[in-house]
Chains A and B, each alone.
Chain A
Amino acid sequence: MFIIDLGTPSHYTTLGILPNATVMEIGEARSKLQTSIKNKLKTVQDEKEKTELEDQLKAVNAAGEVLSRPEKRKEYDRLNRHLQFFMVRPAAAPVFTSKLERLFLLHRALREDLTKMGCPIQPLSDLDHDDFSTDETPNRLLDNLLSA
């Protein structure tokens, strides 16, 4: 192996957002940065600094342009998976990182406990059910064979 460079910039790091940012978050981040840079440009005197800020603005615009369009973002993500890859990721179980998973798990746990307390509650969906005998349709031919 060789020296890994963890500082390679990506469109996500340019905008200061996570790879799973929504379209709204991307728009907000882009807008915020554009405003900030433009404000700085109004007051900056130094030519070198001005050039740097202009480059930053270009990078922000380019990042926003790509990430706000789903097809372009998809292609960018595919070609630059590695840039997202070299980032920390949540190692906790999904029930701690995803509200939806948490809520479904909780409902199952509540159902289990309340049933033990003599207060059975229905599952949220058939995905938590395993008895579908009520969906069976009586069929004379089949039922005769089964009872034989």
Chain B
Amino acid sequence: MSQTAKPRTEPKPEISAAAVKREKILAAIQSLEERPMQVETLIALGEAYFRLGTLPDAELADAAKALRQAAKYDPYSPKMHFHLGRVLWLSGDFPGAVRAFQETLKLAPQSQRTYLHLALALIEMEDAEREIGRAILDALSRGSDAELLEQRGVLDEHMRNREKADGKPPASQRRKKRENGNEKNNGELRWASARLVWIVDQLARPAPNMRAVSRVFTDLAGKNGGGTDAAIVALLMLADADACGSVKALCAENHLLDADAPPAKMLAKVLNLFEVEDPAVFVEQAGEAVLAGALPLALAGFIHYNRFGPKSQLKAPEAVRLLDRYPEQIQRDPFFTELRLAVLDGYAYSAYTARRYNNAHLLWESARELDSNRVDVAHNLALVSTYLTSVDDYQRDWQRAIELRYQLAAALEDIESYSQDRIAIHQGFTRQSMTRHCDPSAPVSTQDDAYPKFIADRTSIATWLEEWDLYYINSRLQFRSPVHRLGVARDASPEEIEEARAALGKMIDASLHAKPWAGIKVFCELANERVKQAAELALDDLERGRDPYYNAEKSQAESLANEVLERSITLIKMLQYFLKELQEGRSLTGSEMRLAADMVRSYMLFPRDFLHKLQLSKGITDEEHRLDEVVLNYITNILLAGSDQEESESASKERMNAFESLSPYLPDTPQIQVARIRMLSAAKEYRKAYDLSVKTILRINAMEQSAPEDGAEKEGEETPENLKALKENLISSLDHFAVSSMNKDDAALVRNGARTMEDVQRLVKALRKALIDFPRAEQIILALAMNLSHLGEDGIKEAMALLEKASEQALTEKSRLEMVKMLGNLRTEQKKAGPRAEAIRLVKGAVDSVQKLQSNAAGVQSQDDIRAILEQAIADVERGIELAEEIGDNDLKKQAEGVLSQMRTALSNFNRRR
């Protein structure tokens, strides 16, 4: 490489002008904020934030934030509010946009620009607001400032009385309409595009006022430079297939086509296309025109759709094939994909309404291939599947349709997306599930007679339980008012707010988290964040006080609260039904117990204090009685009933699972724990049963120690006698669990005892193993210690160590004393072991030496030697006898005395022979 070669540099990324400007503005803001807050600085800050919020590449949320700051610093500048309104419109917050434009008009009451945008925001809202928006456009098209002012008053009145609005335009507006039906143009239109927007709005109406449109069209055409606007209007009119004739006439009247300007040329081109009858020729010419840039694809597309789409004479296959004739380049355009989808959808809808479900299905399937995430296609497919296929098949399609609504909200990171759809579908399935057995016009809580069949229909009842929870969650999340979102009163305490937050979070996690839907975890995070935000706002007194959505959403919140109440009563009544069955002698099956547990879990997902207050307010309960405690009482009885009887392993497992699932809610009493232990044991979960037993025993010990000295009991608590009995029961069950977990042979050995040393060895091994998993099974400990003591000094040592440790952790005084006693015995045994061993050694040694003499194995020759050996042997045995006597081992002593007698006889005989 040459010495003079320049080092390679990475190409610098291009920085946009907007980004540079942003950096400079942010730096300026920082500098301004360090200054003393005088008027000059405040206005400069306002302007700085304004420029930040109106940068071309600003994210809408950031732009809104910046413009709010701008309005804060310079609240008397109308442009701050105007642009905030514009950004809010683009963000989809039309009510917010309206408020911002109203603020603008307070400062600039003559601004037709603001009126235009106000109208555009109103048109996106409900009927009443849309009506006002249209009236504003009418006034704008006439340039009538007086009328605009009037409409502003109407809007202000309407927004104030929004809750009472009956959907009709406010009275003052209706009067004005009657009086001024024929008001002529009497003002000055200072914002030119307002007239065009008015025309667009007119054309968009189901029954446009074509006379008025024609009049305005003629006005536009007559103005200098107005030919362009008129041509644009004509082109817009041509998007509607029926307008061709009237457009031609208007163009001819106003000589629009005579001009040489591009709009006129485009208009002429489009009108020529309308002359083409043959679809294939139309496609050819339209395609060429689009590729040549003579007209936009959107215009060609709409004309094609109107002339050769679902409303035309063409059959579906022809219409679809026709689209394939467009040039490849056009077919690749995203708008063309939408055109294709619109054609398929239109034909599919016609087939569906004509009950040609197979055709509809095929067409929507084709639409799905174009966009697999189109919610409405998935919805329609699920609907038509319901007519065509079985439950197993159509349920897949419905699951997909539901999944998409969560997935897309998660992808957009916007909980509000598709929220109405989610509410509707879950409400739909809830209602569908109950109408099979209950009358849909009456509350379920009043239809006790229907419960047996409803509950017996497992699919329907499970759906009813699950879907209602999902309906409820989505209904809560859609509220904008924080207190309504949480479901608390406006004056709720911080504790109530926190309880509601926690309960709703739990419900979201319990009902949604485990669903096998794409994006569900993200959805749950968004949902939990929304709940958290609501709690934060609700805890802030100022925010809670100025909650702008509270009143508007109040009736909806009250309706939902009533549904919660109805739901709670229904669940209680269903549990009562189960109890009644038990009282009448029927045992519940495992699945019924699980169902009862599901009902209780559903009930417990509500914030308990809130629900209790609600029930109190409706007179369903009183201060003395809490229905959540009643519910827990019911389920405890349901799950305990029959638990002490033999039942199948599967039923036992169901019962246990139901119990476990309710463990966060069940009272933590020894009785409940004993029931759980019993179930675990029946389900052969010995280790779990053991662990819980030990825990319960220790707890009872603690309760006994803290019992009042006067013996007075607290209401609801167990008596000392009961506790004692429970404890004893539990302690004995520890050994039972340990033995039950052994293999058959070992268990038999434990029960029958060891008969031989080989048995002792095996038994010790089995017991050692059992104590690893069940270290506090006391009878096992004692049995091991006893058997170890048969295995010599090492065995005794191990047994003593075992008993020393176990006695420190003894579960009762009685068992501790037993262990201490055995330990004492072993210590004594240990003390005796040495002398015993010595005595045995002496006696055995003596016997061996005499036996060797007799067999001449010792190789002894002289008589004196023989005598000496005999005398030594006798001395050894005598010493052994002494030792045996010292340790009190009478058996050994007796044996040794027998040996001694024999030896003395032998010596005596020997002496006689000599």
CB within 8 Å of B: which residues of A?
Answer: 1-6, 8, 22-23, 69-71, 75, 78-79, 81-93, 95-96, 98-100, 102-107, 109-110, 112-114, 116-119, 121-127, 130-132, 135-137, 139, 141-142, 145-146
Contacts and interface: CB of A to CB of B under 8 A. Distances in A.
B750 to A, nearest CB: 52
A127 B116 CA distance: 11
Contacts of B352: 88
B25 to A, nearest CB: 7
B83 A132 contact: yes
- The B contact surface, by secondary structure, is helix
Residue of B364, B398, B432, B556 most packed against chain A (CB within 10 A): B432
A142 B425 contact: no
17 contacts: A1-B395, A1-B429, A1-B463, A2-B433, A2-B436, A69-B166, A88-B352, A92-B345, A99-B205, A103-B200, A106-B302, A109-B296, A119-B263, A131-B56, A141-B44, A142-B28, A145-B31
Contact of B228 (A121, A123, A127, A146): A121
Given A82-B431, A100-B200, A141-B41, 9 more contacts: A1-B391, A1-B429, A5-B436, A70-B167, A107-B236, A127-B90, A137-B47, A139-B47, A145-B32
B24 interface: yes
Given A110-B296, A125-B116, A119 B261 contact: yes
Nearest to A145: B28
Interface in B497-547: none
A128 B265 CA distance: 25
A23 B460 CA distance: 37
B375 to A, nearest CB: 8
Given A1-B463, A123-B193, A107 B200 contact: yes
Contacts of A131: 56
A92 B341 contact: yes
A107 to B, nearest CB: 7
Interface string B632-662: 0000000000000000000000000000000
Given A70-B167, A81-B423, A106 B47 contact: no
B556 A82 contact: no
Given A75-B559, A127-B89, A114 B236 contact: no
Contact of B86 (A88, A95, A127): A127
Nearest to B123: A100
Contacts of A137: 47, 77, 79
Pick from B193, B305, B364 the residue with the most CB of A within 10 Å: B193
A126 B89 CA distance: 11
Contacts, number: 224
Contacts of A121: 228-229, 232, 263
B879 to A, nearest CB: 92
A135 B83 contact: yes
Contacts of B263: 110, 114, 119, 121
Contact of B305 (A23, A96, A100, A124): A96
Interface in B748-777: none
B192 A113 contact: no
Contacts of B86: 126-127
Interface residues of B, number: 108
Interface of B: 24-25, 27-28, 31-32, 40-41, 43-44, 47-48, 50-51, 54, 56, 77, 79, 83, 86, 89-90, 113, 116-117, 120, 123, 127-128, 165-168, 192-193, 196-197, 200-201, 203-205, 228-229, 232, 235-236, 239-240, 261-263, 266, 293, 295-299, 302, 305, 338-339, 341-342, 345-346, 348-349, 352-353, 364, 367, 374, 376-377, 379-380, 383, 386-387, 391, 394-395, 398-399, 420-421, 423-425, 427-433, 435-436, 440, 457, 459-460, 463, 555-556, 559
B459 A2 contact: yes
The winner among A70, A79, A142 for most chain B CB atoms within 10 A is A142
A142 B424 contact: no
A87 B32 CA distance: 58
A106 B559 contact: no
A113 B374 contact: no
Given A105-B298, A127-B86, A91 B364 contact: yes
Contacts of A105: 298
